[in-house]
Amino acid sequence: MSPPTGLFLSFEGIDGAGKSSHLDALAAWWRARGRSVCLTREPGGTALAEALRALFLGQEMDALTEALLVFAGRRDHLRAVIRPALARGEVVLCDRFTDATFAYQGGGRGFDTAVLAQLERWVQAADDAGGALLQPALTLWFDLPAAVAAERRAAARAADRLEREDLAFFDRVRSGYATRAAADPQRFVRIAAEQPREAVWAQVEQAVAARWPAASALPGSAGQPGGLAGQGA
């Protein structure tokens, strides 16, 4: 039997939006429906990309250097982890992807998004000439006011280099996400992330079930036509 079609989902949003809180739950949701899950993150996801992440988060540098490091890591992550997992028919859940580069370096730092778009084309195209640009099939954008996210972060942990930026920076990052979402409304679903945890989860589950209706049936559940059959696409 051929494996199901791999599915690529990304979680986006400013620091403290609640992405990590829901990644594990969505992984469990897919596993309950018979799917193998590849849980990964950016910046990072491979040994090389995690080393680049540590440099990126640990040292001062300009926005182009940030973007080059992040896209270099992304190239390795795509080749070593994401594309192979999709080829095996897995569900890839990625904690941040390229939209974050547009939001943080483009929106937050005010860096030229045309340069980011060029890097995106180089890094995410398949190796064969004319290969399509790989993007997530669904991007869950956890959106909330910067001040609410800052309160959550303050309660949760010590800040890294980017998390020490001020509220105005995170407002610009949020706008960067909004711009990116408006440009690709088919791919993005906005999650109202200021709501209580359970309400946020309900939105996540609803968005995923709406995108892949055949996959939302639990194995063996009555009255769900199709069940696991034909849920590949």
Residues near ligand ATP, by CB under 6 A: 13, 15-21, 152, 156, 196-197, 200
Q: Is 156 in the site for Mg ion (CB under 5 A)?
A: no
> 165 vs 217, which CB is nearer to ligand ATP?
165
Residue 18 binding partner per list ligand ATP, Mg ion, none, with a CB distance cut-off of 5 to 8 Å that depends on partner kind: ligand ATP
Q: Could you tell me how many residues of this chain bind Mg ion (CB under 5 A)? A: 2
> 5 vs 20, which CB is nearer to Mg ion?
20
> 19 vs 180, which CB is nearer to Mg ion?
19
Q: Decide: helix, strand or coil at residue 92.
A: strand
Residue 107 binding partner per list ligand ATP, Mg ion, none, with a CB distance cut-off of 5 to 8 Å that depends on partner kind: none
Adjacent-strand bridge partners of 119: none
Least Å distance between CB 147 and ligand ATP? 13
> 75 vs 152, which CB is nearer to ligand ATP?
152
Least Å distance between CB 95 and Mg ion? 6
CB atoms < 10 A from the CB of 58, how many? 10
Beta strands in 104-223 (DSSP E): 138-143, 188-192
> 208 vs 215, which CB is nearer to ligand ATP?
208
> 104 vs 212, which CB is nearer to Mg ion?
104
Residue 15 binding partner per list Mg ion, ligand ATP, none, with a CB distance cut-off of 5 to 8 Å that depends on partner kind: ligand ATP
Among the listed ranges 11-19, 125-133, 138-146, 159-167, the one in contact with Mg ion (CB under 5 A) is 11-19
> Buried (b) or exposed (e) across 2-32, using 16+ Cβ within 10 A?
eebebbbbbbbbbbbbbbeebbeebbebbee
Least Å distance between CB 9 and Mg ion? 15
Decide: 181 and 188 in contact? Cβ < 8 Å: yes
Q: What tokens does 188 get? A: 């993005």
Query: What angle (nearest 5°) sits at the alpha carbon of residue 61, between those of residues 58 and 62?
Result: 145
Decide: 64 and 111 in contact? Cβ < 8 Å: yes
Torsion angles phi and psi, residue 117, rounded to 5: -65, -35
Decide: 59 and 100 in contact? Cβ < 8 Å: no
Q: Is 20 in the site for Mg ion (CB under 5 A)?
A: yes
Residues that bind Mg ion (CB under 5 A): 19-20
